[in-house]
Amino acid sequence: MLRRSPILLALAALTLTFGVLAEYQVHADDPAQPNKKTEAKGPELGKDWGKLRDGLNGLFAQLQKDSNIKPSKICDDDTFLRRIYLDLLGRPPLPEEIEDFNPGRRDADGKKGNEKREALIDKLLAHPDHATHFADWWTTTMIDRNGDGNARRFLHEYLEKSFAANKPWNEMVYDMVAGQGKTPENPEIGFLMSFENNKADTAGIASKVFLGKQIQCAQCHNHPYEHWTTDDFEGIQSFFYLSGTGAKGEGADRYWYTNDTVPKNAMDLAKRVRLKGKYSSPTFLGDGAYEWQEGKTLRQALADWMTSKDNRWFREMTINRYMAYFLGMGFVTPVDDFNSINEPTFPVVLEIMGKDFAASGFDTNHLIKAICSSELYQREVDTNRTNRDDYMYYSRSYVKRLTPEQIRRSIMSVIGVERLNPYEQVRDVDESKLTPEEKANKSIRDRVNNWTYNLSRLIRDAYGADPQMYEFGDFDGTIIQALMMMNADLLNTGGLKNAVTDIVERYPSHKDRIYQIFMTVLGRKPSKMDIAILNATFSNWGGSDNAAYEDLFVALMNTTEFITNH
């Protein structure tokens, strides 16, 4: 049995990684000088996400075996379908999407098995909802839910467009840290706007989110268990000293902007940035002082250093966050607190994955496909006596509560107010000048917007203070959240069509209606047990047929299954 001392674990991980991933081990940091011994065996780092996936599968299968752990089975198609939709789109699959995937059989394109699942991952990464959902996730990660609304709006817009184009992650972070210009042409400045010119908060959050280094406490005193000092904090904070944000104009003409002073030379830099501690100029965290560069702002210099492929903190922080998001736990927990007493469980694996990510051009889709097509991601949540206490080897999946953003997106999708009530754009003129058709469109638009706004308000009130990511096993929620789901009367759509009225209208058969309701709300067909329970009780629910179907719809939305990833 593999002993769990950190040294032996590191040695085991090193041996297995270089064995299972032998064809992967090339000089990613110096592509001009590849390892000739392994070059012919396979692609270079960053070129083939399938090889990375296979390496992870082989490595952790061996680690599980050496630790006498029997992994849980690979989940069935129904489980995988709901899990991947929630993780990549933030909502369960719709009935037509379930039929297209055809759980347990070939999909609409004739694919089956792993090929079928990989094709679905590709399809969802190209779906517009993916960019929106990941913009939700990252906006909340960088800006508190109760943060400045304008900053959130602009940052979300930038992230959504960038994820839709699969923009490299290092370029995205560079834009957010170094962004210049004004809105709406430069929405990336929303990140800087959110701090309202608080330089300490800007430095602390940027270091935490992008590098995994929590240096905030060093603002006032030396870090209690790390080597960071108040001088180190001042050194990194000073990169923001010569920049700021502001706003001009009123109403529709209002815009926000950044303003940076560019030092003319090294002497001008020293004159403008006067530090109180031991450093005489802005200093990269643990990596030496900044040297003046002509025409470059301090924030641009910081962003260059931060997002470099040679910055191990940057690449490994990103790997850890994505592993934690998809698998329930990363190599380091908490996800953004890398420090000397919180070492990664498998540092060599993290290092290789980080190098692969950098060599891929910081391609997040490359990383996502490797993780989501792996056995680590596709395990069942059911455990056995050997892996019920495994929180290290990814031998099982974990039930996770959905984030508030996923809850909102799921409610929007299953009730279907937006998708079932399409409308044309209406001219921005006095209502008396609108045609009857335009007035009808305006009425639909206003009612859809009112319902959507009300849902957002309810979610904000019930979930506003929650953290952005839940620990696995934490899926109970609060009383306020439960009451919101039970009492919000979400099916009261002001005369607009919703999923229940649409299902009753399109499907005359009681059996078909039940199947459609289950697939719409839970992203799966009802089980034999579900059908047996409903057949025994449904006729006693009372009220009209529509009322009974609405009760079933709402009851399913109030299950633990609806608010978790399982």
Write out the E strands in 192-236.
Answer: none
Distance in angstroms (rounded) separating the CA atoms of residues 235 and 264: 20
Q: What is the token pair recorded at 325? A: 């998001």
Give, rounded to a whole angstrom, the gap between the first and last alpha carbons of the chain: 32
Nearest of 192, 227, 231, 200 to residue 216 by alpha carbon = 200
Closest residue by Cα to residue 511 from 490, 528, 491? 528
How many whole angstroms separate alpha carbon 552 and alpha carbon 566? 19
Burial 430-451 (b: 16+ CB within 10 A, else e): eeeeeeeebeebbebbebbeeb
Would you state the pLDDT for residue 147?
76
Residue ranges of the chain with per-residue pLDDT less than 70 = 1-43, 218-226, 465-477, 542-545
Q: Report the DSSP pairing between strands 255-260 and 243-248.
A: antiparallel
Token reading at 163: 């994820």
The distance of Cα 166 from the centroid of its chain, to the nearest Å, equals 14
Rounded CA Rg of the chain: 26
- 27, 34 in Cβ contact below 8 A? yes
Answer for the pair 232, 217: CB distance below 8 angstroms, yes or no: no
Q: Tell me, what's the pLDDT at 16?
A: 46
Entry pTM: 0.90
Half-sphere exposure of 268 (CA within 13 A, CB side): 12
Residue 420: predicted pLDDT: 95
CA torsion, ordered 440, 450, 413, 497, to nearest 10 deg:
-40
Task: Provide the 10 A C-beta neighbour count for residue 527.
Answer: 11
Query: What pLDDT is recorded for position 129?
Result: 97
